[in-house]
Amino acid sequence: MSALDALFAPRSIVVLGVSRNPTKLGFRLLQNLRDGAYGGTIFPVNPSGEAILGCATVRTVEALPEGIDLALVSLPASAVPDAVRALAARRARAAVILSSGFGEVDAGGRDAERELLGVARAAGLRLVGPNCMGVYSAPARLNGTYFWDLPRLAGGIGVVSQSGAYGGLIFRHLGGRGLGVARFLSIGNQADVGVAEVVEYLADDPATTLVACFIEALRDGRRFVEAAARAAGAKPVVVLKGGRSEAGRRAAGSHTGALAGAYDVYRAAFRHAGVVLAEETEEFFDAIEALVVSGPRRPAAPAIAVITVSGGPSVVAADAAERAGLDVPALDPSARHALRALLPSFAAVGNPVDLTPQVEPARIAAAVRVVLDQPAVAGAVAVNVGLDFPEFADGLVAASRATGKPLVAFTADAPGITARFTAGGVPVLPSPERAVRAWRALWLAGRGPVRGVARPVALPADVEQALAHVRGPLPYALARRALEAVGIVFCREILVTTAEDAIAAAATLGYPVVVKADAPALTHKTEAGGVRLGLRDPAGVRAAAEDLLARLGAPRVIVQEMVGPGVEVLVGGRRDETFGPVVALGAGGILTEVVRDVSLRLAPLDAGEARAMLREGVRARLLAGPRGLPAVDDAPLVGAVLAVADLLMAVPRIVEIDVNPLLAAGGAAVAVDALVVLGEHGG
């Protein structure tokens, strides 16, 4: 029996902290086990030795038989360490510590938590919690939680929640939608068993068909990404992340004793794993419902048709789709011609497609089939307010089944078609926006994890030596050579130590030129006044070089050719403490800090993900060729993103890379500055 089998399929359970007082949590815990009809052996522990709820009690842990699978510990925090030692001595396999008062409280609590873990690991005892709400397993008829009167519905949803209270909310909301939970684990402080390990278990669990996670913080981000990616290859994984804002991170820290990482990095990690990330509670439950109700059907592209008999709500749906990153493509001329032959003359046949209330019901099936047969359309959102005739639902369900393209609906004041959609396996949501986001969840779940592979990197010997020994910023010349070795193209430049040499360098490169200070501590040259642009004569070069050498104490200056015009882009990366190498692409130059238009991805990534980064934020408009500039080809920027990812993967000591700006125009992308920062050791 594996450690998590002992949690989800225990043959025997001991309950510590059982009370005869019905108001006590220990009484509730035992009552839940009894009410759930758990079929294994239960050993309540109570010093009185008297029967409780019809169960014979054991006076002490020492009187228990050896090898009990699961212990549910509901004791005051001060009594938990001795209980864990006793359980370890009796060779118990797993213990869920529901008690609070540990790492979520203070440093003393964290010390006590570490002591518990040390005792448990020495004996092979696995711990869940502390500070959690317990474990639930429908196949084992096990309710080892503080939650009572749980909905008893058949279903395959596996839940792991860092918050106990939110776990209860998950049970209630899913039950209210007729969705059943197969497995549930509240993991609290994650002293031992963490989110990633539970996701690994649920990925292989035949009783689990969808994995739902509420996460505040992860200790081992890479392990979670790998586990979630493996799970997402077979079943959907839906995540709601708490602790996104500064206030939320403070709450998460006090609630679980764990610091939440930057939300943008978590978002990148979830995308890498193929996870469906919900931005709020409502969207979380809508996504779960849509994925369960729709079954295995997934869209092949993020492109929808909006099909309606209700014009206004369909416009809202189309707007919501574009905000959610979905396309609402116009139908081709042949499709519009076919629709005009089927629909009233005043029907809208572009997309959204408004059949109008005056449509002949017998023609609906043919009309919606025309729409879903369009190659540019990967599915549909149906909108119906108040026109309750069955042909609307029947036609859409039939077209969805025939084409394999998923359908989500919004209905109001139309109970008949709502029932037909539900019977046909179509999720029905209570607003146009929610229907669109639910359809988007189907697309995200079908997209799958990123399958990036790091390419081998060969660096010059002197660069290798510097990467092994330098701490902090790498000298610019070596940083440039490292980046050139992985494919970053730099502008022509010459490093000099005197004003006279700067003038000679400018003559070699040709005017106009740029003069920059080069010093180890000068990581942001522009902010420090360390850059002079557009110098067109020797006098200007001399004045700039003398000023930078004297005022900033720079040992060298860099004389560069003027490159441009073009779009300034930032390509960089950093080693995140939770998820490891992360690559960034955004607006560069002086816009970097002002616009803060940056996309993140975990490394390694593939060319498709790098290309997708170019389409996000304001970059799509900048790279399309604003103000007469030539449009920028994807290839050089995709290559630069992959190059930075490769270098981060190849050299664990690199903690930060910043190529900014990378000047992009047409088919070229040329770097004019770079920073590589090294940490103390690999990680």
Whole-number Å distance between alpha carbons of 560 and 510: 9
pLDDT at 492: 95
pLDDT at 248: 46
Show the tokens assigned to 489: 């193209």
Average pLDDT over residues 601-625: 89
CATH code for the part of the protein at 1-131? 3.40.50.720
Q: Considering the chain, what percentage of its residues have pLDDT values greater than 90? A: 80
Cβ density class 329-345: b for 16+ within 10 Å, e for less:
bebeeebbebbeebbee
What residues pair up with 98 in beta bridges, in sequence order? none
What residues pair up with 160 in beta bridges, in sequence order? 185, 213
Asked if residue 495 lies in contact with residue 479, where contact means CB atoms within 8 angstroms, the answer is no
Place of tokens 């009990």: 68
What residues pair up with 517 in beta bridges, in sequence order? 557
Q: Same topology for domains 1-131 and 297-447, yes or no?
A: yes
Whole-number Å distance between alpha carbons of 249 and 261: 8
Whole-number Å distance between alpha carbons of 654 and 294: 45
517 pLDDT tier (thresholds 50, 70, 90): very high
Across 35-154, the runs of DSSP E, i.e. the strands, are 41-45, 70-73, 94-97, 126-128, 134-137, 142-145
Whole-number Å distance between alpha carbons of 262 and 243: 9
pLDDT at 179: 96
Start-end of H helices in 185-310: 195-204, 221-232, 246-256, 263-273, 281-294
Whole-number Å distance between alpha carbons of 309 and 435: 16
Q: Is 43 helix (H, G, I), strand (E, B) or coil?
A: strand
DSSP string for residues in 651-676? -TTEEEEEEEEEEEETTEEEE--EEE
Average pLDDT over residues 208-213: 98
pLDDT exceeds 60 at position 250: no
Q: What is the pLDDT of residues 277-322, one digit of tens each?
A: 999 999 999 999 999 999 999 999 999 999 999 889 999 999 999 9
Whole-number Å distance between alpha carbons of 17 and 37: 20
Whole-number Å distance between alpha carbons of 102 and 127: 14
Among the listed residues 169, 249, 170, 186, the one whose alpha carbon sits nearest the alpha carbon of residue 217: 249
Whole-number Å distance between alpha carbons of 7 and 330: 52
Q: Where is pLDDT greater, at 589 or 571?
A: 571
Q: Among 233-237, 365-369, 508-512, 583-587, whose mean pLDDT is lowest?
A: 583-587
Mean pLDDT of the chain: 91
Q: What is the pLDDT of residues 73-123, one digit of tens each?
A: 999 999 999 999 999 999 999 999 999 999 888 898 899 999 999 999 999
Whole-number Å distance between alpha carbons of 175 and 580: 38
Among the listed residues 165, 240, 153, 232, the one whose alpha carbon sits nearest the alpha carbon of residue 199: 232
Q: Considering the chain, what percentage of its residues have pLDDT values greater than 70? A: 95
How far is residue 149 from each of residues 29, 154, 168, 208, measured CA to CA in Å?
A: 12, 15, 11, 22
DSSP string for residues in 572-594? EEEEETTTEEEEEEEE-TTHHHH
* The CATH number of domain 492-562 is 3.30.1490.20: yes
Q: What are the residues whose beta carbons fall under 8 Å from the beta carbon of 279, sequence distance 6 or more?
A: none
**What residues does each domain of the chain span?**
1-131, 150-278, 297-447, 450-491+564-683, 492-562
Q: Are strands 654-665 and 674-678 parallel, antiparallel or unpaired?
A: antiparallel
Angle, helices 432-447 vs 281-294, to 10°: value is: 60
Whole-number Å distance between alpha carbons of 372 and 406: 10
137 pLDDT tier (thresholds 50, 70, 90): very high
Among the listed residues 590, 492, 476, 496, the one whose alpha carbon sits nearest the alpha carbon of residue 541: 496
Cβ density class 432-441: b for 16+ within 10 Å, e for less:
bbbbbbbbbb
Q: How many CA atoms lie within 13 A of 159 on its CB side?
A: 33
Whole-number Å distance between alpha carbons of 395 and 418: 13
Would you mind telling me the total number of residues written for the chain in this entry? 683
**The one-letter amino acid at 247:** A
421 pLDDT tier (thresholds 50, 70, 90): very high
Average pLDDT over residues 178-206: 96
Number of neighbours of residue 672 by Cβ within 10 angstroms: 24
Asked if residue 466 lies in contact with residue 653, where contact means CB atoms within 8 angstroms, the answer is no
Average pLDDT over residues 403-421: 97
Show the tokens assigned to 88: 């370890």
Cβ density class 624-638: b for 16+ within 10 Å, e for less:
eeeeebeebeeebbb
Supply φ then ψ for residue 81, to 5 degrees.
-55, -45
pLDDT exceeds 90 at position 251: no
Show the tokens assigned to 460: 């010059």
pLDDT exceeds 60 at position 593: no
pLDDT exceeds 80 at position 27: yes
Q: Is 559 helix (H, G, I), strand (E, B) or coil?
A: strand
CB-neighbour burial class of residue 412 (10 A; exposed 0-12, middle 13-18, buried 19+): middle
pLDDT at 627: 67
Q: Are strands 126-128 and 142-145 parallel, antiparallel or unpaired?
A: unpaired
pLDDT at 670: 95
651 pLDDT tier (thresholds 50, 70, 90): very high
Distance of CA 81 to the CA centre of its chain: 36
Long-range contacts of 529-533 (CB under 8 A, 24+ apart): 530/554, 533/562
pLDDT at 103: 85
Supply φ then ψ for residue 462, to 5 degrees.
-70, -30
Q: Among 4-8, 354-358, 548-552, whose mean pLDDT is lowest?
A: 548-552
CA dihedral 15, 16, 17, 19 (to 10 degrees): 40
Q: Name which CATH class applies to 150-278.
A: alpha beta
587 pLDDT tier (thresholds 50, 70, 90): confident
pLDDT at 373: 98
Q: Name which CATH class applies to 450-491+564-683.
A: alpha beta
pLDDT at 525: 77
Whole-number Å distance between alpha carbons of 479 and 514: 19
Topology of 297-447 in CATH?
Rossmann fold (3.40.50)
Angle, helices 263-273 vs 221-232, to 10°: value is: 40
Q: What is the pLDDT of residues 465-483, one digit of tens each?
A: 999 989 999 999 999 999 9
CA dihedral 548, 549, 552, 556 (to 10 degrees): 100
Among the listed residues 290, 268, 149, the one whose alpha carbon sits nearest the alpha carbon of residue 212: 290
Whole-number Å distance between alpha carbons of 174 and 287: 11
Whole-number Å distance between alpha carbons of 271 and 237: 11
Average pLDDT over residues 372-382: 98
Whole-number Å distance between alpha carbons of 662 and 675: 12
Distance of CA 121 to the CA centre of its chain: 31
Asked if residue 226 lies in contact with residue 193, where contact means CB atoms within 8 angstroms, the answer is no
pLDDT exceeds 80 at position 127: yes
* Cα radius of gyration rounded to whole Å, the chain: 31
